[in-house]
Structure 1
Amino acid sequence: METEVSKPEQSAAKTPTNTPSRPEIEATKPGEIRVIRRNGKVTPYDDSKIEVAMTKAFLAVEGGAAAASSRVHETVRQLTKQITDAFKRRMPGGGIIHIEDVQDQVELALMRNGEQKVARSYVLYREERSRERAARDTAKLDALVGDNQVMVTVEDGSKRPLDVERLHTVVVEACKDLSDVEPDQILKDTMRNLYDGVAIKDAYQALVMTARTMIEKEPNYTYVTARLLLDSIRSEALRELGVAKRATQSEMNAIYPEAFKAYLSVGVENELLSPELLSFDLDKIANAIKPERDMLFTYLGIQTLFDRYFIHKDEVRIELPQVFWMRVAMGLAVNEDDREARAIEFYDVLSTFHYMSSTPTLFNSGTLRPQLSSCYLTNVPDDLDGIYGAIKDNALLSKFAGGLGNDWTPVRGLGAYIKGTNGKSQGVVPFLKVANDTAVAVNQGGKRKGAVCAYLETWHIDIEEFLELRKNTGDDRRRTHDMNSANWVPDLFLKRVSSDGDWTLFSPNEVPDLHDLYGKEFEERYEYYEEMAKYGKIKTAKTIPANVLWRKMLSMLFETGHPWITFKDPCNLRSPQQHVGVVHSSNLCTEITLNTKAGEEIAVCNLGSVNLPKHMKDGKLDTEQLEKTVSTAVRMLDNVIDINFYPVDTARKSNMRHRPVGLGLMGFQDALYLQNIPYTSEAAVDFADNAMEAISYYAIQASTDLAEERGSYESFAGSLWSQGILPIDSIEKLIEERGAEFIEVDTSSTMDWDTLRERVKTIGMRNSNVMAIAPTATISNISGVSQSIEPTYQNLYVKSNLSGEFTVVNPYMVKELKARKLWDSVMVNDLKYYEGSLQHIDRIPSEIKELFATAFEVEPKWLVEAASRRQKWIDQAQSLNLYMSEPSGKKLDMVYRMAWFRGLKTTYYLRSLGATSTEKSTISDGKLNAVSSGPAAVGSAAPKACAIDEPDCEACQ
């Protein structure tokens, strides 16, 4: 007599899955009603099953002949229609109802129709089935955990028996639709670790700790651990919001809308959220929330969100994952005409991980102070007011989570004449020390350290001392241990290195125009100043062999990881905005190349990244889906510019005038795995080319579409865009200015660029710049994919960051080894011993070793070649880390000259394997393999996978 949708629970723990990474959750379609069963499985609403259940009830009471009568048949039909109509009125837009709710409605309909005997029989049958289930579950649980009753301490200090049944429900839900996971084992191991009187919060935390130890043997346990953690996160938020004490994932289908509205009310009341969010159609927004997307998180992803992103009140988190995504989406849609539709559109790309906004946007969207931009580029002028004004700007920008790139080249060098005091300058370095200490002091609300990078051109008289800023020896008053640094290298310098020529250093107060010149104009003026210096007409100058300085640059990069090497001329010659200014530096992570002007414009960039593996279909790039995602992403990025809170007016002025954005990508390595392509192959280089071409095409197209809707950016006239010169076209300008003998780049294309080029010229662009590939360190963790364009660091290791330690295992590798029957506890221990590498494990086939080569097993030339192919499509730059297992002077010279020769604009960290180590442990002892957190910058004593873990580059992503 029970409706068929309430069949006995069947474990889904062993259900096969087709992907090694993330389970896909089927969403409820608009207008569709679905039913959630007691085991958590969601099925379509089927009124024929209600008819069957009611017919069985009549049969039990009136017998076969009566039940088959036309009266009973018509009664059942009418009652079923009433029940279905009631649900449709309750949920006109569709939704999910619980099986118990369906059965309640059946019972109520029978009673209202006067069928008391049938209704009573139905009730008795439900109760009997309920007792059977309880007995069955109790017997199963007793077999699992024994008869030892654990008493737990609840929130008010009292004690009560542990609800083992609920614990079991939570574990089974966490394992739902995942292969090769064992819910019973998790519960058994957890119960062994509990003691009488344990806090109830700790009892649930024990589930998390138990599951996380299993990740190294089965990657799917990362999803199990995430879902177990989510139970505690829900408890904290729902209790604070006054919605419920605890809720299972299946119960959240009904609770999420109520929790969302309560969250907005509490957030606005406590001045944590903008009151503007309450003006949305909250019913429409709440009904668009998809609770099942909570199941997409890895353990690292949800822990990172909980620790650093969810809004809290008195240190208690009041955000739930889908509420968080919707808050960000609403904050980005406040100025849209159809705000609800756009918020839902934005929510869909965020909550499914197709696209991810940068960290500042995720932090602050929808709050009272929406500082959403990622990076700020500033110039420091050559006077005390200007210098300390720039340092003040640093503090204000850093306070609200912005990453900084400072151009220090205009500041006169050591020994240069100061007319005002008739004395000599102490140079750039003492001021850099002040900037360093300011970054430490202004720590972005405790979320992370201030993050800044100082840039200096290679001809500056202080360049040699600048190279030593990160050394651990020497006068500590002239060291900046917390600040990044980068060389801003003109092409002429590397030409001199190539020809074994000399190089002259100047103080910028005597050669002021060099700062604003590039290409042939720079070369001509620089050589003019060299001649003047030879005849003593320039007082502060020094000539050294170019190769000596180049070797010192590489030596310091080897020893300290700084300064990074970035290239001035390609950044300027290929800049779409060269008609309105000069690019004087990049940013904190070397992917932003925007023009700046001291005292007038601080360049601002707004970042976000497309998740490449989410756009792979049947082993190919799904360009149709990619076009949709990129269109939405560019709209979101453009909205940031108008919504953004600007700590300084010069930043607002620049951003409003030029409207630059930086759309990048992440998960490049995952996308290669999905195609069975090794990173060290021409196929990988070709994919880098084709994928970036598609992103570039759709991003430019999206900006043009926005220009048609909203108008072009203010300084469009005279830009390269306005001349029909797209990024792929600007390469010719670089070749012409540098000389063909000093550059070799691929210029092939596959898409219809002629049509788009004409459209850009005719309609315009909404944004002066549209692309930049950032490190994506944190947002890729949240999304559960590989960082940016990085190769896999190790196939098995422990990642350490501000949220703790997390076992990371390559799920694609595990899937492949399972298929070949090579994945076992011995393989796990071998991977630990060889620090995540397959290369020394004899039983691994060579093609598998090649496919799953780790970062230090990938020759740097492949990184540079792939980056070169991407660079031709990008109007800004890319954060390119370079890995060397055994760095040498010769290798460094070759790689960095190759980067320049291949037309790259910038490089980022140089990473060495030397500082990493591993604790050789066995899987049987239950310990996490203590592999260091990541590759070090060469010479670093504290290895890190990215500055994010310090965390510096998180300011970008």
Structure 2
Amino acid sequence: MNVLNRSNIESQIDIKEIRKALKWACDGFEDINYLEIESQVNSIYHDKITTKEIQKSLIDISLNLTSIEMPKWRIVAARLLIWELYKEIQHQRKNDFFGYGNYYEFVKNSVERGFYDSKIMKIYTKEELETAGTFINPKYDLDFDYAGANMMINRYIIFDEDKPFEMPQELFLTVSLFIASVEKKENRLNLAKQVYNSIAGRKISLATPILINLRKNSGNLSSCFVTAIDDSLDSIFYNINSIAQISKNGGGVGVNLSRIRAKGSSIKKTPNASGGVVPWIKIINDTAVAVNQLGKRAGAVTPAIDIWHLDVEDFLDLQTENGDQRKKAYDIFPQLVVSDLFLKRVEKNEDWTLFDPHEVKTKTKIDLSILWGDKFEKAYINLEKNSELKLTKKISSKGFMKKIMKTMIETGMPYLFFKDRVNELNPNKHDGMVGSGNLCQESFSNFRPTEIKNISLNGDKIVQESKSGLIHTCNLVSLNLANIDNDDILKSSAKLAVRILDNTIDLTFSPIEESNLHNNIYRTIGVGAMGLADYLALKKSPYEKSQHIIDEIFEKIAYNVLEGSLELAKERGKYQKFDGSEWSKGILFGKDEKWFIENSDFSDKWVELIKDIKKYGIRNGQLIAIAPNTSSALIQGCTPSVLPIYSKFYIDKNSKGTVPICPPYIKENFWFYKENKNMDPKNVVKIISGIQKWVDQGISMELLFNLNLDIKAKDIYDTIMTAWKTGCKTIYYTRTIQKNGNISEKNECVSCAN
């Protein structure tokens, strides 16, 4: 194609520029020739075509060339997109150079225009910011594939109205400087450099609220919140306001409603006055829609209810297609809190009794919502014998289990939260209990409702008295196992992840005081993982046969994360509620010293760690949580979380076009990326349960049932029971592949996407 023979001189200049971009985008790929693209674009040229239009065509052609055999074309497309970003930035800043420039001047301009928090100019000197500018490595921009580059530009970098203002490495470096800002002055730049190279080099992935908000003037940095509502009108609306504030600031919310009286319960001794939990859930649903997350999308809330609650049948129907539409709530994510006793009765095909929490508490002084384990079973069985209780209902446990399964297949939910397992392994059970999980079912710790007492007039002020509750609050990062290929990198990355999150606690300020109190008391963090399927593919190990390899790496992660928190405790002090915790007794992840001696390949290290933890404590009350991180895995260029891949290659179609998605090492390791849809779900569950024994919080475990494989109800039942019996704490979405090939979908939470 002789495009340079065209008579229009301006077009010739454009074509030279385009050819330059093509060479840059294909640089380093010996098996890719940029002329393959150029040969396809002759038909699009016309007299009035712009360089930008040509650039878009080149990107589209690169995406169309992407295949399992030639996956690098998606990286070429990403580089062409980054090139276009560079050109726009050059034009916006009126630079006479291409790419990254004077970082100090950029930061100064960003502060003056209100895009960056002015604290950065007060914390760091001009000389320090100039030194920091030398950390920027533009080559990191070349590592994006198209899906990652597109998401980075459209979701994370700052825009000035409709024009990009910031470049990816400026984002990463500035966030790193803020993370390091709480360190001692002599350590700040060194830590900032470590953080920058870890996040820009795609070894550590920051959660969305951190990456979006940290450099800005205000904003929440925490991903996960869980609260509880007491059985009063004041508490209900107090918490609805809390949910709105958290959603406004980009957090996903879990809210436990098990204390609220059931439909038909009395109000002020008036029988049959209560409408139950469903009307309040509808208000929560509408609040989530009305108060969006950072202007990006509707808020995300998971209401939870215990399986003994009298309204649980209506709760299960919240999103089904049939029934009274006035009782539906389609924008929330229902969560069912399941006790061991219920599942034992399902196995024995025994009856299950539903109770009104208000009547139980009024007549017996028992609050079932705070009980678990043996105490729950004893209280529950006694309540079944109590003839004074009138608002009860006996149902078939097995019949109700069938309804749960049917609803999961039909709607993808409810999530299942195995309450007894969670609390049995709760390291802070000396200070409370865990009633339900967060939006993605991987993060949870002690929480309790604020008790609203009196509202009175004091002069010209209205004073509200209350006893503060706690809202579970957690910040998240993930280790990208696809890019961590030896124990030294794993150790340094895990410890750095702990320091990043502990620093983030000191930098964030939640809009809810109960959340700030939780941060102060527990300093809960959630170090997670992604790219496990890639890690296994590189080791030529099929997912289903990799239990030993997986167990080994997650034991190392657990050890290094704990050691990192121990080192911080020595430096900064232990968390407030350490004394009396399981950690303080030398019980780590539910295992004592004897267990490690008998079962670990490096038991000597564990024994020494237990000794040091008893002596010095740890900085963080809970430490590990594995989020779904579907979105941030695109930025990281790896497979999400710890589940097997859904598909080796697929086209993601959305309003902005079609994007090819495939794992990073697919060409060389095709046969070692086995797809989830072709696996027995029980085998996947067993792998996740193996990881769970090294995770003190939870794992966002999705169940996937391929209905083309003759899946029966018993298979679904066996999978759920396997999850419970093998020690999983939660079940996140249930997805199905229909016989038409479509997979069931549900939007994910931006914040908990990590």
User: TM-score surpassing 0.5?
Assistant: yes
User: Where in structure 2 are there 5+ consecutive unaligned residues?
Assistant: 362-366, 451-468
The whole-number CA distance in structure 2 between the counterparts of 1:916 and 1:716 is 53
Q: Does 1:559 align with 2:559?
A: no
Letter in 2 for 1:652: N
* Partner SS, residue 806 of structure 1: strand
Aligned counterpart, 1:699: 561
Asked if the contact 2:638–2:664 (Cα under 8 Å) also holds between the matched residues in 1, the reply is no
The whole-number CA distance in structure 2 between the counterparts of 1:327 and 1:494 is 50
Q: Does 1:332 align with 2:186?
A: no
Q: Does 1:863 align with 2:684?
A: yes
Aligned counterpart, 1:595: 446
Distance 1:564 1:816, change over 3 A: closer
Aligned counterpart, 2:230: 381
Distance 1:914 1:219, change over 3 A: same
Q: 1:899 aligns with which of 707, 723, 726?
A: 723
TM-superposed CA distance for 1:803, in Å, is: 5.5
Asked if the contact 2:537–2:669 (Cα under 8 Å) also holds between the matched residues in 1, the reply is no
The whole-number CA distance in structure 2 between the counterparts of 1:269 and 1:398 is 29
TM-superposed CA distance for 1:655, in Å, is: 1.0
Q: Does 1:665 align with 2:560?
A: no
- 1:359-374 equivalences in 2 (<5 Å): 359-374=208-223
Letter in 1 for 2:221: L
TM-superposed CA distance for 1:317, in Å, is: 1.3
The whole-number CA distance in structure 1 between the counterparts of 2:385 and 2:598 is 38
* Partner SS, residue 583 of structure 1: coil
Asked if the contact 1:378–1:407 (Cα under 8 Å) also holds between the matched residues in 2, the reply is yes
Letter in 2 for 1:266: N
Aligned counterpart, 1:94: none
Q: 1:416 aligns with which of 265, 288, 291?
A: 265
Aligned counterpart, 1:607: 476
* Partner SS, residue 293 of structure 1: helix
Q: 2:5 aligns with which of 123, 127, 147?
A: 147
Aligned counterpart, 1:429: 278
TM-superposed CA distance for 1:555, in Å, is: 1.3
Aligned counterpart, 1:63: none
Asked if the contact 2:254–2:439 (Cα under 8 Å) also holds between the matched residues in 1, the reply is yes
Distance 1:420 1:283, change over 3 A: farther
Q: Deviations over 1:108-167 (max 9, x none)?
A: xxxxxxxxxxxxxxxxxxxxxxxxxxxxxxxxxxx6535224576xxxxxxx64432222
Distance 1:916 1:764, change over 3 A: farther
Q: 2:205 aligns with which of 316, 334, 356?
A: 356
- 1:546-945 equivalences in 2 (<5 Å): 546-599=397-450, 600-616=469-485, 622-681=486-545, 684-729=546-591, 748-751=599-602, 752-800=605-653, 804-810=657-663, 812-816=665-669, 848=671, 851-886=672-707, 887-914=711-738, 917=741, 935-936=743-744, 944=745
Letter in 1 for 2:285: N
Q: Does 1:398 align with 2:247?
A: yes
Q: 2:30 aligns with which of 179, 194, 206?
A: 179
The whole-number CA distance in structure 2 between the counterparts of 1:723 and 1:392 is 39
Asked if the contact 2:41–2:58 (Cα under 8 Å) also holds between the matched residues in 1, the reply is yes
* Partner SS, residue 417 of structure 1: coil
The whole-number CA distance in structure 1 between the counterparts of 2:304 and 2:384 is 23
Q: Does 1:225 align with 2:77?
A: yes
TM-superposed CA distance for 1:315, in Å, is: 2.1
* Partner SS, residue 787 of structure 1: coil
Distance 1:266 1:296, change over 3 A: same
Asked if the contact 1:454–1:483 (Cα under 8 Å) also holds between the matched residues in 2, the reply is yes
User: Where in structure 1 are there 5+ consecutive unaligned residues?
Assistant: 1-142, 153-159, 617-621, 734-745, 818-847, 918-931, 937-943
Q: 2:45 aligns with which of 191, 194, 204?
A: 194
The whole-number CA distance in structure 1 between the counterparts of 2:733 and 2:573 is 39
Letter in 1 for 2:729: K
Q: TM-score, normalised by structure 1?
A: 0.73
Asked if the contact 1:679–1:862 (Cα under 8 Å) also holds between the matched residues in 2, the reply is no
Letter in 2 for 1:642: D
* Partner SS, residue 255 of structure 2: strand
Q: 1:521 aligns with which of 364, 368, 375?
A: 375
Asked if the contact 1:263–1:318 (Cα under 8 Å) also holds between the matched residues in 2, the reply is no
The whole-number CA distance in structure 1 between the counterparts of 2:164 and 2:109 is 12
TM-superposed CA distance for 1:456, in Å, is: 0.7
Q: Deviations over 1:549-598 (max 9, x none)?
A: 11111111111111122200011110011111110110000001211010
Letter in 2 for 1:566: F
Letter in 2 for 1:463: V
Q: 2:119 aligns with which of 276, 286, 290?
A: 276
* Partner SS, residue 352 of structure 2: strand
Report which stretch shifted further, 510-519 or 629-638: 510-519
Larger Rg: 1
The whole-number CA distance in structure 2 between the counterparts of 1:803 and 1:909 is 26
* Partner SS, residue 715 of structure 1: coil
* Partner SS, residue 212 of structure 1: helix
Q: TM-score, normalised by structure 2?
A: 0.92
Asked if the contact 2:627–2:753 (Cα under 8 Å) also holds between the matched residues in 1, the reply is yes
The whole-number CA distance in structure 2 between the counterparts of 1:747 and 1:914 is 46
Q: 2:107 aligns with which of 264, 277, 292?
A: 264
The whole-number CA distance in structure 1 between the counterparts of 2:357 and 2:426 is 24
The whole-number CA distance in structure 1 between the counterparts of 2:229 and 2:273 is 19
Letter in 1 for 2:155: R
Distance 1:497 1:525, change over 3 A: same
Asked if the contact 1:664–1:774 (Cα under 8 Å) also holds between the matched residues in 2, the reply is yes
Distance 1:747 1:789, change over 3 A: farther
The whole-number CA distance in structure 2 between the counterparts of 1:863 and 1:169 is 47
Aligned counterpart, 1:242: 94
Distance 1:685 1:492, change over 3 A: same
TM-superposed CA distance for 1:332, in Å, is: 1.3
Instruction: Give the share of equivalent positions with the same residue, in percent.
Output: 32
Aligned counterpart, 2:334: 485
Distance 1:442 1:150, change over 3 A: farther
The whole-number CA distance in structure 2 between the counterparts of 1:194 and 1:453 is 52
Distance 1:328 1:680, change over 3 A: same
Letter in 1 for 2:263: L
Q: Does 1:440 align with 2:289?
A: yes
Letter in 2 for 1:239: H
Report which stretch shifted further, 188-197 or 885-894: 188-197
Q: Which structure carries more relative contact order (alpha carbon 8 Å, separation 6+)?
A: 2
* Partner SS, residue 211 of structure 2: helix
The whole-number CA distance in structure 1 between the counterparts of 2:157 and 2:502 is 24
Q: Deviations over 1:799-853 (max 9, x none)?
A: 2457643112345443357xxxxxxxxxxxxxxxxxxxxxxxxxxxxxx4xx343
The whole-number CA distance in structure 2 between the counterparts of 1:816 and 1:387 is 53
Kindly report the root-mean-square deviation, in angstroms, between the aligned alpha carbons of the 2 structures.
2.1
Q: How many residues align?
A: 719
The whole-number CA distance in structure 1 between the counterparts of 2:274 and 2:52 is 61
* Partner SS, residue 297 of structure 2: coil
Report which stretch shifted further, 881-890 or 360-369: 881-890
Report which stretch shifted further, 760-769 or 191-200: 191-200
Report which stretch shifted further, 374-383 or 363-372: 363-372
The whole-number CA distance in structure 2 between the counterparts of 1:861 and 1:731 is 31
The whole-number CA distance in structure 2 between the counterparts of 1:191 and 1:230 is 23
Aligned counterpart, 2:142: 295
Asked if the contact 1:377–1:406 (Cα under 8 Å) also holds between the matched residues in 2, the reply is yes
